[in-house]
Amino acid sequence: MEAIPIILFCEKGERISCKSGMETFPCEVERSKIKNGHVLIFSKHTTCGILIQEAERGLNVDILTRIEKLIPKGTGYKHDRIDNNADSHIKTCLIGVSRIIPLINGILQLGTWQSLFLAEFDGPRARKSEKNHRASNGRMILHHDADPIKI
């Protein structure tokens, strides 16, 4: 059992962004040959989370703008004395570092409008996440991939 570390690049230099995981993620699930199980997408970071939402550019901006309004950067946080990103941590607390998706007969059970995102709150950075399948026989799946995947 291994997990695939996936390197997530935030290419455009934004501090806060939503990066889609849909280009590579479903392909990998297919490649794994697993048919039934729960797929856990887990971020190993404390300043970026995982989201399931509609893939609409305007909405992505709305989500980030509203979260920024609720938890603005630099309003006298104690943690900012150590590392100037307390707001990024708090944003991640609200969104959460994982999502789990049912897999049935080889098909990810995302709804019509659901897409997977990395919600980056302290970019631009390269991020690693782990994606684990649990197969129909209960094993976790060795999920190799030669190259880091850009999503």
Q: Which stretches of the chain bind its own copies, using CB under 8 A?
A: 1-3, 35-38, 40, 42-46, 51-54, 56-59, 61-63, 66-67, 70-71, 77-79, 81-82, 86, 89-90, 92-102, 104-105, 109-114, 128, 130, 132, 134-140
Q: Which is nearer to its own copies, 4 or 149 (CB)?
A: 4
Q: Least distance (Å) from its own copies to the CB of residue 128? A: 8
Q: How far is the CB of 33 from its own copies (least distance, A)?
A: 15
**In angstroms, what CA-CA distances link 3 with 36, 106, 124?**
17, 19, 24
Rounded to the nearest whole angstrom, what is the least distance from the CB of residue 36 to its own copies in the complex?
4
Report the residue number, 1 or 146, with the smaller CB distance to its own copies: 1
Cα 144 from Cα 69, distance rounded (Å): 40
What 3-state DSSP class applies to 102?
strand
In the sheet that 48-53 helps form, which strands lie side by side, from edge to edge?
Answer: 17-20, 115-120, 48-53
* φ, ψ for residue 19, nearest 5 deg: -110, 125
**Min CB(146)–its own copies separation in Å:** 19
> Hey, how many other C-beta atoms are within 10 angstroms of the C-beta on 43?
24
